[in-house]
Amino acid sequence: MVNDRLTLGVASRLSRYLQVLTQAKRMGKTSISSQAVSEYTNVNPTQIRRDLSGFGKFGKRGVGYDIDMLIGQIRKILRTSGQHHIALFGAGNLGQAIASSGVFGDHGFRIAAMFDVDPEKVGTSVGDLTVRHYTELQRVVAEDGIQVGVLAVPSATAQQIADDLVSSGVKIIFNYSDALLTVPSDVTVHASNPAVELLYALYFYLS
């Protein structure tokens, strides 16, 4: 039971809790109730407590949950407590925004390398990273144990990079481009489109 695979629903909710907890921590809070988490996630408070109590008794009755502790516990449950290495492709506006934002760092991801093909950009620094030329991909993936590739490039080049990542053994691709990527079935592509999320939000506002 304890070692069971989480269901999609539970894993997705735990991730959302993690997001709120991280934000709350950043705002200086040290403890939070299921009721408060509920307000930020729109997940029923009983559901939240049930999700958590399946893995242990993390809260204090009458008080709530210690934020640091709960973040640690959820990371353990999601088995993502360790360090993970990601490679970022594209040193344009989006790439630079991602590299300098710290969102990945907060969750145990290290941006181990940043690539571009533009000779103007290769060699420059973004935060504490130096932009490398795309031809180093294969070597860097192997040497730095890259597990995730993040694509912040024009759609026209996205598929090529995806192919190269796949042949280097990367199994998770995060695609910010508009391209529809074709990959082998053991590779996960995660695409995120703010406009579509907005449509979804808008629907519930309009009705």
Partner DNA sequence: TAAGGTTTGTGACAATCCGTTACAAAGGTT
Partner DNA sequence: AACCTTTGTAACGGATTGTCACAAACCTTA
* Residues in contact with DNA by the rule CB under 7 A: 7, 9-10, 13, 33-35, 43-47, 49-50, 52-53, 57-65
Work out what residue 80 binds among a second copy, DNA, none; the CB cut-off runs from 5 to 8 Å by kind: a second copy
- Considering beta carbons, is residue 9 or 72 the nearer one to DNA? 9
Verify binding: residue 85, a second copy, rule CB under 8 A: no
Q: Name 190's bridge partners.
A: 174
CB of 78 to a second copy, least distance (A): 5
Sorted by sequence, the CB contacts under 8 Å of residue 139 that are 6+ apart come out as: none
- Considering beta carbons, is residue 63 or 196 the nearer one to a second copy? 196
- Considering beta carbons, is residue 43 or 152 the nearer one to DNA? 43
Applying CB under 8 A, what is the total number of residues that bind a second copy? 64
- Considering beta carbons, is residue 9 or 102 the nearer one to DNA? 9
Indicate which single residue of 44, 46, 100, 125 sits in contact with a second copy (rule: CB under 8 A): 100
Q: CB under 8 Å, gap of 24 or more: what pairs does 1-8 form?
A: 2/55, 6/77, 6/78
- What single-letter amino acid sits at 57? K
- DSSP letter for each residue of 70-139: HHHHHHHHTT--S-EEEEEE--SHHHHHHHTT-HHHHTTEEEEEEEE--TTTTT-EETTEEEEEGGGHHH
Distance (Å, rounded) from C-alpha 204 to C-alpha 78? 30
Q: Which residue has 């280097």 as its token pair?
A: 168
Summarize as ranges the residues that interact with a second copy (CB under 8 A). Answer: 5-6, 11-12, 15-16, 18-20, 22-24, 26-27, 40, 78-80, 84, 86, 92-94, 96-98, 100-104, 106-107, 109, 147-148, 150, 152, 155, 171-172, 174, 178-180, 188, 190-207
